C-alpha cells in the first residue's frame, strides 16, 4: 500500500464569473493616446487579469470602444490601475504584465452610452509559490424537533462545511525574467486583493489537490469548491522570506473527487463546453 508526501499537493483556482455592473461610458473618459478608459465602479469591482465581457446595455448598439471592433460585445482581459483606469488586452499574460505596448487601441464612442461589464473566466490556473495548505470538513448537527416535516427532511442530515488555510511566499509581480515564472499562474497577491474587493465579493473556485499525478491520471485526488476569502495575513521579518497566510471557507456544495481532472473545450464562437469524465455538458 503506497503512502504519499505533500510534494504532490497543488492548488488551482478560477476567478469568479457572472458578476457584473452597469455604468455610462462617456467619450471624455476614453484616452486614446494612453489606451485607457474609466467608468464608474471599475475600481473595487475588477482586478488586473480578470476576463470580462463588455457590451452595450441594449445588446444591439455597437460598443465603439476598441479599434477594429464593430460588434455590440467584446471579450478579453483587463488591467486596472490605482485610480480605476482600465486597459484592455487580448490575453491574460499581457494583462498581468500591463503597459502600453500590448494594450488594445481604443476609440472614443460617438456619444455617451450605457455598458455592462461582466466577469467571465472559465480557466483554472495554478497558484504559485505555495508552502502548504490544509482543508478541513465538518458536519454540523441541527435540532429538528420543532421543524415541520418538509424542513426535517431538508436538515436531518445536518450541514456540511469546509474551511482551510493556504501558506505561500508573497509575490506581487508577474515578471517573465523571475526564476520559475510561467505566464499561466496566479500568485498570493490576487487572493489578497480579492479579500479587499468591495463590489463583487471575495469568492473564487478552487481545486485543492491532495495528490496530483497529471491532468489525465485516474490517481488524482482533490477537493473542489467555491470558496470565500475571510482573512489574509502577511508576515514581514528581517532576513526571512515574506509569507502570506490566507484563510477561506467554502460556499455551497463541495466535493472530494478522484480521477481525471475535468477540462474545457474551446469552440469557434469562444464559448466553452465542459468535459467531465466521458460525458460532455454545458455549464
The overall average pLDDT reported for the chain is 83
Distance, CA of 73 to CA of 117 (rounded, Å): 10
pTM of the complete model: 0.79
Confidence of residue 148 (pLDDT cuts 50, 70, 90): low
pLDDT given for residue 267 in this prediction: 46
Confidence of residue 272 (pLDDT cuts 50, 70, 90): very low
Confidence of residue 8 (pLDDT cuts 50, 70, 90): confident
pLDDT given for residue 154 in this prediction: 52
- Whether 93 and 151 have beta carbons less than 8 Å apart is answered as no
- Whether 12 and 122 have beta carbons less than 8 Å apart is answered as no
Task: Retrieve residue 117's grid coordinates.
Answer: 461589464
In 49-134, alpha helices (H): 92-97
pLDDT at 85 over 80: yes
- Whether 250 and 161 have beta carbons less than 8 Å apart is answered as yes
pLDDT at 167 over 70: yes
Q: What single-letter DSSP state applies at residue 163?
A: E
pLDDT given for residue 146 in this prediction: 60
Residue 252 CB partners (closer than 8 Å, separation 6+): 225, 226
The whole-number average pLDDT for the span 207-236 is: 91
Closest residue by Cα to residue 88 from 60, 107, 112: 107
Distance, CA of 237 to CA of 82 (rounded, Å): 27
Higher pLDDT, 140 or 162: 162
Amino acid at each position: 500500500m503506497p503512502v504519499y508526501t505533500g510534494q504532490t499537493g497543488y492548488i488551482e483556482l478560477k476567478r469568479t464569473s457572472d458578476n457584473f455592473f452597469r455604468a455610462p461610458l462617456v467619450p471624455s473618459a476614453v484616452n486614446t493616446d494612453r489606451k485607457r478608459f474609466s467608468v464608474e465602479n471599475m475600481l473595487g469591482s475588477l482586478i488586473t487579469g480578470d476576463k470580462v465581457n463588455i457590451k452595450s446595455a441594449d445588446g444591439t448598439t455597437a460598443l465603439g470602444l476598441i479599434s477594429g471592433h464593430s460588434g455590440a460585445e467584446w471579450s478579453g482581459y483587463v488591467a486596472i490601475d490605482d485610480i480605476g483606469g482600465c486597459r484592455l488586452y487580448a490575453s491574460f499574460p499581457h494583462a498581468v504584465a500591463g503597459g502600453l505596448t500590448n494594450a488594445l487601441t481604443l476609440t472614443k464612442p460617438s456619444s455617451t452610452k450605457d455598458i455592462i461589464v461582466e466577469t467571465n473566466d472559465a480557466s483554472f490556473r495554478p497558484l504559485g509559490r505555495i508552502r502548504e495548505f490544509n482543508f478541513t470538513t465538518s458536519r454540523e448537527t441541527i435540532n429538528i424537533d420543532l421543524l415541520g416535516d418538509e424542513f426535517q427532511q431538508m436538515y436531518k442530515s445536518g450541514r456540511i462545511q469546509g474551511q482551510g488555510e493556504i501558506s505561500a511566499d508573497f509575490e506581487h509581480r508577474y515578471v517573465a525574467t523571475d526564476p520559475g515564472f510561467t505566464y499561466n499562474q496566479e500568485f498570493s497577491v490576487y487572493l489578497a486583493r480579492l479579500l479587499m474587493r468591495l463590489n463583487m465579493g471575495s469568492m473564487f473556485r478552487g481545486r485543492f489537490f491532495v495528490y496530483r499525478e497529471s491532468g489525465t491520471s485516474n490517481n488524482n485526488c482533490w477537493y473542489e469548491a467555491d470558496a470565500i476569502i475571510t482573512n489574509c495575513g502577511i508576515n514581514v521579518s528581517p532576513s526571512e522570506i515574506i509569507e502570506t497566510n490566507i484563510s477561506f471557507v467554502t460556499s455551497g456544495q463541495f466535493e472530494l473527487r478522484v480521477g481525471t481532472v475535468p477540462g474545457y473545450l474551446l469552440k469557434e464562437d469562444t464559448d466553452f463546453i465542459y468535459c467531465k469524465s466521458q460525458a460532455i455538458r454545458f455549464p
